[in-house]
Amino acid sequence: MSRSPSLPDRPTLDLDPESTPTEHLAALEDHYADLVDVREQLEAQLESVRDHREDLREDVDRLQRENETLKTASLYVATVEDLSEDGAVIKQHGNNQEVLTELSDRIREDIEVGDRVAINDSFAVQRILDAETDARAQAMEVDESPSVEYADIGGLEEELTEVREAVEDPLVNPEQFEQVGVEPPSGVLLHGPPGTGKTMMAKAVANETDATFIKMAGSELVQKFIGEGSRLVRDLFDLAEQKEPAIVFIDEIDAVAAERTDSKTSGDAEVQRTMMQLLSEMDGFDERGDVRIIAATNRFDMLDSAILRPGRFDRLIEVPNPEQAARERILEIHTKDMNLAEAVDYATLAEKTEGFSGAQLESLTTEAGMFAIRDGRNEVTMQDFEDARAKLEQESEDGTSTYATYLH
Ligand SMILES: Nc1ncnc2c1ncn2[C@@H]1O[C@H](COP(=O)(O)OP(=O)(O)OP(=O)(O)O)[C@@H](O)[C@H]1O
């Protein structure tokens, strides 16, 4: 709010040249008195503006402190059950404790019955949270029928066979496992550098088994509020059960399943709780029906061994960067709709792209196409691929490429 006090009028001095010296002096004295008066008014205004500035400073300090507390303290989540003159009746998630709590003016303006709110240790409402459905929709990607096919994946034949055995067979042919008397593997963990086709494989299996693909990034499970991460894990598995057959894909699982360090911060404990929820969902998996779970990580070395125990992620599949033949195949897949000059040779291109991931090879083909377009041609030449490679390597050296560390 801006406050601009109006300034007093500036006194003027009109001396009559005809006046006597006595009148002259009287006029000057009057003028002096006016000036003193204005000065007093201005000083009073200055004082009040200073007071106002002090008030504002105090407000800023208080808000900063509140902000800090909000950022650092662990908060609990509750639902607003009722609103009255006295405040709000809220029910805390997890223990279902009902409490009547007063509301600050700021919160009172916006709060409604049914809202999810963040509360502190003294049950004071700190924030109104986004609607649950939004949080859920944001955190999960649901694809009823992904379009990736096995044929779209270059290389990774053995890896794909393993994934299919562990995920597809139990969905398509469960009797086989019953007849032989073995439990199908619970969870499959794909590990390897970024952009090597882990997500693609999970999507392709979902497509080929007519299962719904439900993806959640591990980083989404690391939530600010106590109980929220575990709640999302429960939501994830409940949704999978509703949509069965379904494939649950948890990307970046290391975000919740990294080996604990010595730190005992509350954030760490919360991540630990989320992981325990994930493990317990997996342990109770048999009753879940046709739901299979695939997880992926680029940081296998960091994982907590609890997650790798039998009955959990007990099928580990490494997904490496592609070898020569696989690189040729990936280039072929990603150029199948491109108009290539005759001289474009996959084997030579594959030789020159050692160390590239599938995702980088895909960027290479797109970049090569862009060079042709910029040059006004409708045919992509070997030189375009060479220019594209130079550009990607340059970006990798400058650190502007997402895959920088994987380029040699
Ligand atoms: N083996 C492959 N065959 C064909 N295309 C591939 C292959 N690997 C990666 N790609 C291309 O790269 C894109 C990214 O791959 P994907 O998302 O499957 O990688 P990811 O291993 O899951 O990576 P991240 O670990 O970064 O999540 C794919 O959409 C695809 O176009």
Q: Please name the residues in contact with 39: beta carbons below 8 A apart, sequence gap of 6 or more.
A: none
Q: Does domain 73-129 have CATH number 3.40.50.300?
A: no
Cα of 118 vs its chain's centroid, Å: 19
Mean pLDDT of 382-388: 93
Distance 359 CA to ligand 1 centre (A): 5
Question: In the prediction, which pLDDT does 403 show?
Answer: 47
Lining residues, ligand 1, CB within 6 Å: 153-156, 194-200, 251, 296, 298, 330, 333, 358-359, 362
Among candidates 301, 139, 163, which has minimal Cα distance to 220?
Answer: 139
Question: In the prediction, which pLDDT does 289 show?
Answer: 66
For residue range 10-44, list pLDDT tens digits in order.
888 888 888 888 988 998 999 999 999 999 999 99
Compute the distance between CA of residue 79 and CA of residue 386 in angstroms, rounded to an integer: 59
93 in a known ligand binding site? no
| All structural domains of the chain with their residue ranges | 1-71, 73-129, 135-318, 324-406
Q: Confidence class of residue 406 from pLDDT cuts 50, 70 and 90?
A: very low
Neighbours of 272 (CB within 10 A): 16
Report whether pLDDT(214) > 80. yes
Mean pLDDT of 57-85: 81
Indicate if the alpha-carbon torsion angle 301, 302, 304, 307 is positive or negative. Answer: negative
Q: Please name the residues in contact with 291: beta carbons below 8 A apart, sequence gap of 6 or more.
A: 237, 240, 241, 244, 245, 246, 247, 248, 285
Nearest-atom number in ligand 1 for the CA of 193 is: 25
Provide the token pair at 161. Answer: 């066979």
- Is the ipTM here above 0.90? yes
Q: Spell out the CATH class of 324-406.
A: mainly alpha
Name the DSSP letter for residue 362.
Answer: H
Q: What is the topology classification, in CATH, of domain 135-318?
A: Rossmann fold (3.40.50)
Question: In the prediction, which pLDDT does 379 show?
Answer: 93
Among candidates 340, 341, 350, which has minimal Cα distance to 154?
Answer: 350
Mean pLDDT of 195-209: 94
200 in a known ligand binding site? yes
| Per-chain mean pLDDT for the chain | 85
Nearest-atom number in ligand 1 for the CA of 201 is: 18
Report whether pLDDT(9) > 60. yes
Nearest-atom number in ligand 1 for the CA of 322 is: 1
Distance 195 CA to ligand 1 centre (A): 4
Question: In the prediction, which pLDDT does 384 show?
Answer: 93
pTM: 0.68
For residue range 345-355, list pLDDT tens digits in order.
999 999 999 99
Compute the distance between CA of residue 24 and CA of residue 19 in angstroms, rounded to an integer: 6
Q: Is the separation of the CB atoms in 198 and 192 below 8 Å?
A: yes
Question: In the prediction, which pLDDT does 380 show?
Answer: 93
- What angle (nearest 5°) sits at the alpha carbon of residue 156, between those of residues 362 and 178? 135
284 in a known ligand binding site? no
Give the chain's largest Cα–Cα span.
128
Question: In the prediction, which pLDDT does 319 show?
Answer: 95
